[in-house]
Amino acid sequence: MSTNAARQIRAFADEILQQTSFSLESPISHKGLSLVPIIPMTESAINEEFINAAEAFEIESLVITEAGDAVNTIIAQNTGQKTILIEESEVLVAPNSQDRIVVSSILLQPGEEKRIPVKCVHAPHGLNRGAGFHSTGAGSLELRRTVRKMKYQSIMTDVEHYQPETAVSQEEVWSEVERYCKTLGMKDPTKYTDALAKVQEKATAVAKEIRNSLPENTCGVIVIDSKGKPVAFEMYRRPQAFNKRAGYLESLTVELYDVEKKPLEGETAWSSALQLLLKMKEIDDDNVASKVDSESAMIGLDELRGEAVLATGSKSILYCSLSL
């Protein structure tokens, strides 16, 4: 459905397979999973022209505020000098307003202000117009899966009229929030951000251990389960962006790890990661969809769903994320 975007995804996978720009490193095993790190091979492979949301919030070049007139969109402004990537599943919290989750990655150019697509992740109440949001990091993997399934079905059905904020059902988001909170033993099923904080507190030490085990310049990982099945792929064209993203490794730790299962041998896990990239290299045009002039493309690859963010005016992909 999107020949140009599919071509870019195939080229992106080939950059890793050919080891011209990126390389697959030896797997790191932990509690039933194997994480295969991806590192840049050359300085030219790294795009220093963008930063992600975590970096932007840290240097105060990203301002996100409540518009007050819509639940499905909030206002983001780039006050810095570099393009900002705001990732899908970033959870945003504002005082006395409704907590949101970003439902589609966007690029925000220097000086640009635009509305970003979101969904509410806690009990509805009044919107506090002008309230400033801060980030709590990546949302849960299950909610990401729910959002991606709905977006993929919508864009594949009618790409011309696809809008991520309307493609994603608020009722299904709330249903997943309630399930997630109850799983963690939360008495209030509407306190999603409290549930995430509980997860991150529980998983911080393990996530730090894993991060310290990865090569210093890791810019992404392919996650393989104990049966040799790829369950997640997360990669930026900058190691710093990968290192700064909070919540992702913590979610892996809580939602996917199984201490009862033995991780694959290193060579077998590496081979499974390689097979995923080979499938990406051969992805069919019909399994990639992107609206005209959009910077993001939805991807369907076997059971994995996700999106890639395309650099403005370039053939390179800045960020790619897939999961079950």
pLDDT in tens, 130-145: 999 999 999 999 999 9
What are the residue ranges spanned by the domains of the chain? 3-323
Nearest CA among 29, 255, 235, 221 for reference residue 145: 255
Residue 125: CB atoms within 10 A of its CB come to 10
Q: Tens digits of per-residue pLDDT, 237-287? A: 999 999 999 999 999 888 988 878 888 889 999 999 999 999 999 999 999
If you average pLDDT over residues 15-26, what whole number do you get? 95
d(CA 221, CA 86): 19
pLDDT at 189: 80
Residues 32, 97: contact at Cβ < 8 Å? no
pLDDT at 223: 96
Q: Where in the chain does DSSP place strands (E)?
A: 22-24, 28-30, 33-40, 50-52, 62-65, 73-78, 83-86, 90-93, 100-102, 106-108, 113-120, 134-138, 220-224, 230-236, 288-289, 296-301, 304-310, 317-323
pTM for the predicted model, two decimal places: 0.96
Q: Which DSSP symbol is given to 271? A: H
Phi, psi of 207 (to 5 degrees): -60, -40
pLDDT at 314: 64
pLDDT at 257: 81
Place of tokens 């909070």: 246
Q: Indicate whether 313 pLDDT > 70.
A: no
Q: Indicate whether 75 pLDDT > 70.
A: yes
Please provide the average confidence, as pLDDT, over all residues in the chain.
Answer: 94
Q: Indicate whether 315 pLDDT > 70.
A: no
Q: Tens digits of per-residue pLDDT, 105-116? A: 999 999 999 999
- Is 210 in a helix, a strand, or coil? helix
